[in-house]
Amino acid sequence: MFENDLHARHSWLLTRRDTLRASLEGNPDWCDPQVAGWWAWCIACWIGGGFCSGNGPWVVNEARQLVHLGDAGQGVKRQLVHLGNAGRGAEPQAGLVRWFSALAERLAGVRVCSGDWTRVCGPSVTFVHGPTAVFLDPPYADTANREPGIYREDSESVAHAVRAWAIENGANPLMRIALCGYEGEHEMPDNWAVHAWNAGAGYGAQKKQADDDETPLGQGRRERIWYSPHCLGPAQASLFGGAVLGETNDGV
């Protein structure tokens, strides 16, 4: 991979982000394999948040050159490409056909919605049909002590609304709700179970920083998942199903 290509394709994608949804919803035959391929490639090269967020200082001028505009917040961020091998899998090429076949089977019955999260959390699309699992992973709230503007569509308040909804519906025996966040971000009822996990150190993190919540490693140690009282265990082992036994009741 080339860092120059990443910046060029990132800025190219940013200029087209606002038209993609309109094109998809206005023409059932519309598709753009180049957009899809470049987005997948760029996000695989990317580190951390902020991809295509539009809050970076680098923009393309009339001469089609990437130039720095200070803190204008109109363009892309420039950062080092992903240099490790994590996420490539044991068989990065030979296993692709098998992996995509499993993915296609897993997604065969999936329905994808686009819009506000509350549109798919009402009774008519959840517990009216029977026991329903809801996995909530909103952007970290202002109570999480994190840097703003790290997501494509960022909000430091929506997590509070998500938490309120989760608590309101958590007592329903037909609802099994999981809420993600940072330690101390949400005050949850005592009858909600909590699972601590580590998101990893990220780039630039040193072992000596592990106890500092302001460092990538320290932030990763703060990850939590809260489970409503009617959640069940054991946990699912992978995206493609199958359960593993564990000492914690982490399943949904």
The model's pLDDT over 156-214, given as tens digits with 9 standing for 90+, comes to 899 999 999 999 999 999 999 999 999 989 999 999 999 998 876 554 444 444 445 55
Q: Which residue has the higher pLDDT, 1 or 252?
A: 1
Query: What is the model's pLDDT at position 226?
Result: 95
Q: What is the pLDDT of residue 24?
A: 86
The reported pLDDT for the residue numbered 72 is: 64
CB count within 10 Å of CB 104 equals 9
Q: Tell me what the mean pLDDT of segment 35-39 comes to.
A: 90
In this prediction the pTM is: 0.67
> Where does the pLDDT of residue 236 fall: very low under 50, low under 70, confident under 90, or very high at 90 and above?
low
For residue 190, which amino acid is it?
D
Comparing 31 with 99, the larger pLDDT belongs to 31
State whether residue 132 is helix, strand or coil: strand
At 176, phi and psi to the nearest 5? Answer: -120, 105
- Asked whether the predicted pLDDT for residue 152 surpasses 90, the reply is no
Residue 123 gets the label, from left (phi > 0), alpha (psi -120 to 50) or beta, of alpha
Query: What pLDDT shows up at residue 179?
Result: 96
Supply the mean pLDDT for the chain: 80
The yes-or-no verdict on residue 50 having pLDDT over 70 is yes
The pLDDT of residue 153: 75
CA 196/CA 170 separation, integer angstroms: 20
Cis peptide, bond prior to residue 216, ω within 30 of zero: no
Percentage of the chain surpassing pLDDT 90? 35
Find tokens 């929506």 and name the residue.
158
pLDDT computed for residue 208 by the predictor: 47
Distance CA(138)–CA(129), nearest Å, equals 24
> What pLDDT sits at residue 244?
38
**Taking Cα atoms as reference points, which of 236, 237, 240, 238 lies closest to residue 251?**
236
- Mind listing the pLDDT tens digit for each residue in 78-127? 887 777 766 555 555 667 788 888 889 999 999 988 889 999 999 999 99
